[in-house]
Amino acid sequence: MAQALAPVTALLLAISFLILGHGLQSTLLPLAGSEAGFSELAIGLVSSSYFFGMVLGCLGAPYVIMRAGHIRAFAALVSLMSAAAILHPVLVEPVAWSLIRVVSGFCLAGFYMIVESWLNEQASNENRGTIMSIYIVIVNASMTVGQLSLTGMDVTTFVPFAVASVAVSLAVIPVSLTTANQPAPITVVSFRPVKLYRNSPTALVAALLIGVTQGALWMMAPLYAIQMGLSTNEAAYFTAAIIGAGALAQWPIGRISDRFDRRFVLLGLSGAAVVVGLVFIGAPITGLAVALVMALLAGVAIQPSYAIAVSHAFDHADRDDYVETSSGMILAFGIGSSIGPLSAAYLMQTVGPWGLFLQIAAVQALLGLYILSRLFQRAAPTLEEKTDFDYASTAQVGSVLTPDPLDIEDPQVISPEEFPAYETDPEADENLVQEETFATAEDEEETGDDEAAPLAESETGESRATGEPETQEPDTGSTDETSSRAAGTTSDKEGAGEDTKADGPDETPDKRGE
């Protein structure tokens, strides 16, 4: 295990610093905004802006990475996100914070893409699943630690924002100093929602509605805790308990879904989320102990559902479509998460703090009804048709993790050692063009000689068959005629060679392209 983790230690250390700073900000901003006098709707706008930035990052960050490379793109995004974190206490205004969070969301989507593609490149077929699962555990653990690190800090001061900025900035050091090779250029994947919906309507609708639920819960839970009378430290514990409980429940619930129709598992989680939402509405928090118990219940009921929906989508997708399916699910989740905090903030401002869980209960009830309707329209896949639940590939991070390991023996996959020379050496490309050009000219000359020989033989044969004597010209004429014919043949060959050389470079790239 230590040998497998050695090449990716720098990447895992970098993402831990990065997510620690992000987790701190996710709890800090709603609390700081409330202390600054922001309305619930303004706080919801700031929270939704982050997920909107992630959606933009999923679409635009690959082009940044392809242009600058993984290391330079990572360094640029770290600098941008660190600067964004430190700008919050400088520009204390809802619209400014919303724009800053769009930038942060874009950067984080790029981070996920860089780190995950790098990890996939460094991992082997034998340890890829283990490494990616460790990566997801580190992401969840760093998020929880970041939220807990807010305890003991005054959210009205500059200090917590500075700590978040420093944590993000530290992430660039391990990546900048790593000796690991950069991965291949990242792939831009198209998002075709109609195709994804036809393959698995339940999965796509579930990803969208789960995004509405989880986005609201993650971003508005600290504000809910404060409005229910908890202190800043207790609000941090409350939010961390939700994330931690969901991470712990993810694996066992995922394994259960391997044995049964995943729609039944999603239906059960939706029902549990409705019950938890009604409990929060009917039994307000009366202390930290009660708050933590209810937070654990909320995390177990709400957090694991997205991974089950992704697994269900994989069950109905062809293996060639796994990357596009995963990308589409992430984008659908991001769109839902952009809506959730804003709509929950409106309800909290209108009906009170419990408006957050009113939305959660309503959205999960709607999801349950939709899943129930789909149970009568499509049969469940057999156990042989289902894909095993994979903790890494079903996590709602910013990039694409396919559930299958990379198979170098696949005819569609070329390992780095087998790359053609012209892919890595420009001079080899020029030599290849010249060799193909000369080879074409020589082939044409040989073809001309081969065609001329049978023609001469046939003419001789005809003269013998008719009985006509072969006339012999005087030596002088014969010599002159032979010389002229030889000169003409030579000039024709040279002309053909020149034409071939002139046309060769234009034809060669087309042949290689085919």
CB 30 within 8 A of CB 217: no
pLDDT level of residue 279 (50, 70, 90 thresholds): very high
The CATH architecture of the domain made up of 1-185 is: Up-down Bundle (1.20)
Q: Tell me the average pLDDT across 184-198.
A: 74
**First CA to last CA across the chain, in angstroms?**
43
Neighbouring C-beta atoms of residue 226, cutoff 10 Å: 20
- Comparison of pLDDT for 156 and 445, the residue scoring more: 156
Angle between helices 355-374 and 322-351 (to 10 degrees): 140
Closest residue by Cα to residue 136 from 310, 337, 349, 347: 310
Q: Tell me the average pLDDT across 353-365.
A: 96
pLDDT of residue 273: 96
Q: Distance of CA 238 to CAs 47, 201, 219, 223, Å? A: 18, 34, 12, 11
pLDDT level of residue 300 (50, 70, 90 thresholds): very high
Tens of pLDDT, residue by residue over 70-91, are 889 999 999 999 999 999 999 9
CA 465 to chain centre: 79
Closest residue by Cα to residue 35 from 155, 159, 160, 161: 155
Q: Could you identify the residue written with the tokens 């990379």?
A: 406
CB neighbour list of residue 478: distance below 8 Å, 6 or more residues apart: 472
Q: Which helix (H) or strand (E) holds 127?
A: none
Q: Which helix (H) or strand (E) holds 376?
A: none
Mean predicted lDDT score pLDDT of the chain:
78
Return d(Cα 342, Cα 75) in angstroms, integer.
31
Half-sphere exposure of 259 (CA within 13 A, CB side): 5
CB 457 within 8 A of CB 463: no
Calculate Rg over the CA atoms of the chain.
33
CB 44 within 8 A of CB 137: no
Q: Which two tokens stand for residue 132?
A: 């990616």
Name the CATH superfamily, with its identifier, for domain 193-415: MFS general substrate transporter like domains (1.20.1250.20)
Q: What is the largest CA-CA distance in the chain?
A: 126
Return d(Cα 205, Cα 367) in angstroms, integer.
8
CB neighbour list of residue 345: distance below 8 Å, 6 or more residues apart: 40, 41, 42, 43, 44, 45, 47, 220
Return d(Cα 209, Cα 217) in angstroms, integer.
13
CB neighbour list of residue 20: distance below 8 Å, 6 or more residues apart: 142, 143, 145, 146, 149, 167
Q: DSSP assignment of 186-239, as one string?
A: PPP----HHHHHHH-HHHHHHHHHHHHHHHHHHHHHHHHHHHTT--HHHHHHHH
CB 303 within 8 A of CB 243: yes
CB neighbour list of residue 434: distance below 8 Å, 6 or more residues apart: none
Instruction: Indicate the range of 6-20, 267-281, 481-495 predicted with least confidence.
Output: 481-495
Tens of pLDDT, residue by residue over 374-427, are 887 765 565 555 555 554 444 555 444 444 444 444 444 444 444 444 444 555
Q: Which two tokens stand for residue 204?
A: 């796509």
pLDDT of residue 63: 87
Domain chopping of the chain, boundaries = 1-185, 193-415, 420-454+493-514
CB 108 within 8 A of CB 330: no
- What is the reported pTM? 0.70
Helix/strand/coil for 260: coil
Q: Could you identify the residue written with the tokens 């992704």?
A: 310
Q: DSSP assignment of 60-95, as one string?
A: HHHHHHHHH-HHHHHHHHHHHHHHHHHHTTTS-SHH
Topology agreement, domain 1-185 and domain 193-415: yes
Tens of pLDDT, residue by residue over 333-343, are 999 999 999 99
